[in-house]
Amino acid sequence: MTKFTKFVVASVAALAVFATVSTASAAYVQSGTLKQGSKGSQVMSLQQTLNMTSCKVATSGAGSAGMETTTFGPATKAAVKCFQAANGLTADGVVGAMTGAKLSLVAGGTVSTGLPAGCVSTSGYSTVSGAPCSGTPATTVFPAGCVSSVGFSSTTGMPCSSSSTAVVGGPLSINQVVGGSGYTASTVGVGASNKQVADLRITTGAGGSGTLTGLNVTFKNTKTPGDYMFTKYASNVSVWLNGVQVGSLPASSFTVYNQAFSAYIPLAGATLAPNTTSDLYIAVSSLPVIDSANLGATNNTFSITGTSIRYSDSTGSAFQYTVSDSTLTSSTFVFDTAASASSIKLNVTKDVNDSTDHTVQASSSAHTNGITLAMIDLNSQGTNVSIQSLPVTVGVKNTGSGTNVSDVVSTLRLYNSAGTLIDSETVPANGSCSGSSLSAVSGAACATVTFTNFTNNGLAIPTGSTNVFTIKGDINTVDGTVVGAGTYAVAEVTAANTLAIQAYDANNNRLTSNSTYLVGSTTGSKNYFYVNGINVAANGSTTNSYSAAGGSQTHGIFTMTIPFSVTSYGTTSYIPSATALVSAGTVNNPTATNAQTIQYAVDNGSALQSSGASATITYTGSDSLVPDTNGNYQIPVGQTKTFNLVVTYTPSAAGSYRAQLVNVNNGTTSATSGYTAYTAGLNTNQFRTSYVAGQ
């Protein structure tokens, strides 16, 4: 599972660890020395603050978020030592004045209510602005030491009335950060300079531009008997945005804790534009001399963890995006001799921008040409690689009477990263689905298309680079007979396709067709074809706030908001205003059904919840759109409407919970039958809130 967390940072102090849950909390205030054996409310405040960082006291049970205690025990001491090490302090587990000062910056005076200013629930109207409390949640930023705009700060003595309000996410939103391809078991040779070992692919949403200001990163040697000291291998770590160096830090500046080396690397000149995908590379320079006993994968394999990006938007507000993507955490690298580091490899992986299923508007009277079916990454290591032939499997699941792949897709076209057409091939009638993601799909048909007619004597992949190639198809008429509505197609490079690639190194020697030199494969996203239908897209950042239990209330309440937009094509669409909780299926793939409802799920990471939740659909557009007499929102053809799914959940047990949008059913009439389930691309983090702890 891929998990992302974003929150407002009210202080831009160079901390290596930050809060991953935004809850109402005053800044930590130090009063006296705390150490193992201490007791009292000050210890509880300490644990609450530590649990807002990656140095948590516990992840479950006593000491975990929402279950902090008043006793300073071994777990609290370990968390304090982790925090001290990450912030350049002596890691002795004793909280004195210096550690207390750093801890006071963690809360940073930020209080996130998860509701508009002046609201205590989603009902009624704000006492500050008069706006509906069901509107967009906001984060109210108070001065350090304040939890409201009344009175004076407990840490500075300044008036608490100088607060400001900002919408979470700001003008710029980072929608997704995942590990790029081709960086598993990379090799850094002795004396190598700026060898790329990881790629963070950053996808931004709508809004203004922003600036990356820093990167937190941790390296750890996972092998013994090699030396864990990163400084005995590396001389420097640099950061590059789209090929331009934007940051650098000597290895000697990294802080060691529990045999892991962590640092905050300041960045400069790293601008992000809206609605773009950028590559933030991590590169390592090695020492000119490394003890031979430490070299090689047997003695050293460094993992990359604890990665988070800090950035600011055009308003100057500061944010952090924490990355725990499995692709990134598997981006390992090995220090080896210069000769061993020159090993040749061609990596084939799925591009991050081709990560979701989606629907496509097709014609009922003519072919629909140039439909993007897949995006693939090709990465070379050790040498420049020239590809002479690239086989691709195209598969279809037709709801009509056609039984051949060519009944649905007539032509495949290959484009380079600049958008230039470099080959076009006719799709054969049929072939084998072996090795394809459609191999177990009843009624599916597959065929192999081999791109060979490249310009410039082959398809060139410079060493150390990742090139994105787009595969587009010409789709035959969706007439409802030969090709039916809801037919889908996928294009992918299977493991067998990869081994069949004809690739040559810089000396014109062909790469041997085995998994040592030709590595990887891609899994195709489903492209569903409809003449009439909808497209659903994310419309901003999700939020998840928790109101703790109090008084006679046994359990707290979660308020989880998922913004989305719906665009109608072909004909007018009807979107239900009713909602339904889904409890069948798995955590990341709840079971959707065709019904006159918008469906959602709540889970605790291991199981779907079957009760305790309710949800409303709130229209967020500027016009006066309301549901019709059948309870549906009417969306005229070609128009886009925006909504919030607001889920209220009361847990029956303590834990961490999130909500996700599962299905947006839609119809072509406002009747209560004939609805079509829209699930394409909804099983991604853009349509899920982050996990937040509560009880």
pLDDT digits (tens, 9 = 90+) for 4-18: 333 333 332 333 332
- Residue 103 covered by a domain: no
Least confident of 5-19, 83-97, 540-554: 5-19
* Helices 97-107 and 41-50, axial angle in degrees (round to 10): 60
How high does pLDDT run on average in the chain? 81
- Residue 357 covered by a domain: yes
Co-location of 334 and 365 in the same domain: no
Evaluate whether 415 touches 421 at the Cβ level (below 8 Å).
yes
Residue 628 pLDDT > 90: yes
Least confident of 78-82, 177-181, 275-279, 549-553: 549-553
Q: How confident is the model at residue 497 (pLDDT cuts 50, 70, 90)?
A: very high
**For 507-528, what is the mean pLDDT?**
84
Considering 23-32, 273-282, 447-456, 631-640, the range whose residues carry the highest mean pLDDT is 631-640
CA angle 106, 107, 112 (to 5 degrees): 140
Residue 606 pLDDT > 50: yes
Gap between the Cα atoms of 549 and 567, Å rounded:
40
DSSP 676: B
- Residue 69 covered by a domain: no
Q: Can you give the pTM of this predicted structure?
A: 0.59
Whole-number pLDDT of residue 19: 28
Gap between the Cα atoms of 419 and 414, Å rounded:
9
Residue 681 pLDDT > 90: no
Gap between the Cα atoms of 134 and 140, Å rounded:
16
**For 611-637, what is the mean pLDDT?**
94
Evaluate whether 240 touches 209 at the Cβ level (below 8 Å).
no
As given in the structure block, the two tokens for residue 376 are: 């693939």
Whole-number pLDDT of residue 508: 82
Who has greater pLDDT, 456 or 81? Answer: 81
Query: Strand, coil or helix: what is 213?
Result: strand
CATH, residue 389:
2.60.40
Co-location of 407 and 543 in the same domain: no
Whole-number pLDDT of residue 140: 39
147: left (phi over 0), alpha (psi -120 to 50) or beta: alpha
Co-location of 517 and 612 in the same domain: no
Which of 517, 463, 457, 469 minimizes the C-alpha distance to 493?
469
Which residue in this structure is represented by tokens 């160096």?
245
- Residue 81 covered by a domain: no
Query: Strand, coil or helix: what is 410?
Result: strand
DSSP 26: P
- Residue 184 covered by a domain: yes
Q: Which residues of 262-282 are buried (b: 16+ CB within 10 A; e: fewer)?
A: bbbbebeebebeeeebbbbbb
Burial of 212 (0-12, 13-18, 19+ CB in 10 A): buried
Whole-number pLDDT of residue 86: 75
Co-location of 634 and 521 in the same domain: no
Question: At which of 471, 500, 530 does a domain end?
Answer: 530
Tell me what percent of the residues of the chain surpass a pLDDT of 90: 41
Query: Strand, coil or helix: what is 230?
Result: helix
Whole-number pLDDT of residue 46: 87
**For 482-507, what is the mean pLDDT?**
92
CA angle 62, 63, 68 (to 5 degrees): 100
Question: How many of the other CB atoms lie within 10 Å of CB of 324?
Answer: 17
Co-location of 482 and 409 in the same domain: yes
Residue 23 pLDDT > 70: no
- Determine which helix (DSSP H) or strand (DSSP E) holds 626, and give its type and residue range: none
CA dihedral 566, 570, 576, 580 (to 10 degrees): -70
Q: How confident is the model at residue 27 (pLDDT cuts 50, 70, 90)?
A: low
* Alpha helix positions (H), 505-596: none
Co-location of 361 and 313 in the same domain: no
Whole-number pLDDT of residue 257: 85
Whole-number pLDDT of residue 510: 84
Co-location of 588 and 486 in the same domain: no
| Enclosing domain of residue 499 | 352-530
Residue 630 pLDDT > 80: yes
Question: At which of 321, 342, 363 does a domain end?
Answer: 342
Gap between the Cα atoms of 674 and 571, Å rounded:
15
Co-location of 319 and 359 in the same domain: no
pLDDT digits (tens, 9 = 90+) for 204-242: 876 678 889 899 899 999 998 889 999 999 999 999 998
Who has greater pLDDT, 405 or 5? Answer: 405
Peptide bond just before 74 cis, omega within 30 deg: no
Beta partners for residue 311, in sequence order:
212, 319
pLDDT digits (tens, 9 = 90+) for 131-174: 454 443 333 344 444 444 445 544 445 555 543 333 333 467 77
Whole-number pLDDT of residue 305: 82
Residue 516 pLDDT > 80: no
Who has greater pLDDT, 17 or 378? Answer: 378
Which residue in this structure is represented by tokens 């500027």?
622
Co-location of 452 and 362 in the same domain: yes
DSSP 671: S
CATH, residue 192:
2.60.120
Whole-number pLDDT of residue 154: 47
**For 488-497, what is the mean pLDDT?**
95
Co-location of 461 and 554 in the same domain: no
Co-location of 290 and 397 in the same domain: no
Residue 265 pLDDT > 90: yes
Gap between the Cα atoms of 104 and 57, Å rounded:
17
Burial of 607 (0-12, 13-18, 19+ CB in 10 A): exposed
Who has greater pLDDT, 19 or 518? Answer: 518
Least confident of 99-103, 194-198, 421-425, 596-600: 99-103
Q: Per the structure, how many domains does the chain have?
A: 3
Biggest alpha carbon distance in the chain? 79
Which residue in this structure is represented by tokens 């001389």?
235
**For 103-107, what is the mean pLDDT?**
68
Question: At which of 501, 530, 559 does a domain end?
Answer: 530
Residue 475 pLDDT > 70: yes
Co-location of 212 and 277 in the same domain: yes
Considering 25-39, 85-99, 148-162, 287-301, the range whose residues carry the highest mean pLDDT is 287-301
Whole-number pLDDT of residue 100: 81
Question: How many of the other CB atoms lie within 10 Å of CB of 185?
Answer: 15
Gap between the Cα atoms of 91 and 88, Å rounded:
8
**For 375-391, what is the mean pLDDT?**
90
- Residue 41 covered by a domain: no
**For 1-30, what is the mean pLDDT?**
38
DSSP 106: H
- Residue 135 covered by a domain: no
Who has greater pLDDT, 686 or 138? Answer: 686
pLDDT digits (tens, 9 = 90+) for 298-341: 999 999 987 888 888 776 777 778 776 666 767 889 998 877 77
Whole-number pLDDT of residue 680: 86
513 alpha carbon, distance to own chain's centre: 34
- Residue 169 covered by a domain: no
